[in-house]
Amino acid sequence: PMNDNRPFLAQFFSTPPITRALSISIIIIIVCIYIKLVSPYSLMYSPYFLKSGEFWRIFTCFLYFGNPSLDVLIHITFLYRYSRMLEEGFIYTSDYFWLVFIISSLLFFIANLFNIPLLASAFSSTITYIWTRKNPHAIVQIFGFISFPAFYLPFIVPLFMLVTEKKIMTEDLLGIVVGHLYFFFKDVYPKWGADVFKTPC
């Protein structure tokens, strides 16, 4: 639900399983870095490290957002919020798992082409984009007082960072591209052709 007045823990433990697992993993990584149990560099992806057997990087690059910043806080918040609502819209957990697998695979493929070490922000942007395309007329609010149709949300964060930080967030743009690819081939193209992203069964 978009408005849930239950205590945070009650909300969290009622969160669908995949979103809850992602959230717990992100929290664990944040804590481990804070107490210096792991180095942030050990979480980043690079084909070079796979040759050394460091396969965990395939997963951690989707869970570590980088150094603390407003952009990181926004992305973590968006990932929890919109992943939860998107997952709640599926009847079967397997369907949402397949969505996560597909977009992660697309992001991972592009990361290899352009040497992108962290994909958490791009993953968050992709999830957010897909939810907004499924709910384009929903009214969303950021910073507690700015409201607008959900359709525009994926572009607000990159625009905000461009204005405040004077930089273009490549990961945000990547998330928009992958989100659009998924939405087109899952929700638009099947009206005329096959559902290429259909959950295997």
Task: From first to last of the 201 residues of the chain, give the pLDDT tens digit.
Answer: 545 556 667 777 789 999 999 999 999 999 999 999 999 999 999 888 877 889 999 999 999 999 888 888 989 999 999 999 999 999 999 999 999 999 999 999 998 898 899 999 999 999 999 999 999 999 998 877 788 999 999 998 888 878 877 777 889 999 999 999 999 999 999 988 888 899 987
User: Are 147 and 141 spatial neighbours (Cβ–Cβ below 8 Å)?
Assistant: yes
Residue 198 lies in a domain: no
Residue 2 lies in a domain: no
Question: What was the pLDDT predicted at 23?
Answer: 95
Report the sign of the C-alpha dihedral through residues 166, 171, 174, 176, in that order: negative
Q: Which stretch of DSSP H or E encloses residue 142?
A: strand 139-142
Residue 59 lies in a domain: yes
Give the CATH number of the domain where residue 73 resides.
Answer: 1.20.1540.10
* Cα–Cα dist 170/174, whole Å: 6
Q: What pTM did the predictor assign?
A: 0.91
Written as six digits, the tokens of 185 are 């081939």
Residue 1 lies in a domain: no
Q: CA nearest 89: which of 196, 21, 187?
A: 187
Written as six digits, the tokens of 145 are 């007082």
Work out how many domains the chain is built from and give that number: 1
Residue 3 lies in a domain: no
